[in-house]
């Protein structure tokens, strides 16, 4: 089993993330903590999350907790069907393969890592957006464009609704 540890500094607002990713031949396990300043509620926020994926970067399950210990548990068949913690299907999320947790850039890597990309290639995705710290969920369209490679690091333009950035 290989392990990767990553620390990110949030440069758009105050905050950081510590993430540990463990890979074996069949699954990818991610556990992480994000700490950031939530401008909407004008207070610090903390999110802990765990994600289990298959070796194709498709979600099997995700568990997210906020600082108030509110918890969101979802499972997926990796083909666009999502289920809550009781196993009840969530048809409003149908068709979304990936999850986007608003407090972390890691979740943006899920559709990126699942495909081979060519420079200037653009792909559209349906994502399960988890707004933090509220843990509200909705399906949203997102677009990723492979812009360039710098020193072995791929750069993508990310667009969703009226927001765009480079990741």
70-80 confidence digits (pLDDT tens): 999 999 999 99
| For residues 127-131, average pLDDT | 96
* Predicted model pTM: 0.92
- Residue predicted with more confidence, 165 or 27: 27
Per the structure, the complete domain to which residue 14 belongs is given by 2-166
Pairing of strands 153-160, 27-38: unpaired
Report how many domains make up the chain. Answer: 1
Q: CA-CA distance, 77 to 70, in Å (whole number)?
A: 24
- Identify the pLDDT of residue 66: 95
- Identify the pLDDT of residue 158: 92
Q: Is the dihedral of CA 61, 133, 122, 162 positive or negative?
A: positive
| For residues 98-118, average pLDDT | 93
């Amino acid at each position: 089993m290989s392990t990767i540890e990553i620390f990110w500094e949030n440069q758009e607002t105050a905050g950081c993330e510590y993430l540990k990713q463990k890979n074996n031949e069949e699954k990818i396990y991610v556990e992480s903590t994000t700490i950031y300043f939530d401008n909407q509620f004008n207070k610090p926020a903390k999110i802990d999350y765990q994600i289990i994926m298959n070796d194709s970067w498709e979600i099997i399950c995700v568990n997210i907790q906020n600082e108030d210990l509110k918890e969101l548990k979802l499972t997926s068949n990796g083909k666009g069907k999502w289920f809550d913690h009781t196993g009840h299907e969530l048809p409003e999320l149908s068709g979304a393969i990936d999850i986007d947790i608003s407090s972390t850039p890691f979740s943006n890597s899920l559709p990126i890592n699942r495909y081979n990309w060519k420079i200037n290639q653009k792909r559209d995705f349906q994502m399960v957006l988890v707004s933090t710290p509220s843990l509200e969920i909705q399906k949203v369209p997102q677009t990723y464009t492979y812009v360039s490679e710098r020193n072995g690091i791929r750069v993508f333009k990310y667009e969703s609704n009226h927001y765009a950035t480079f990741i």
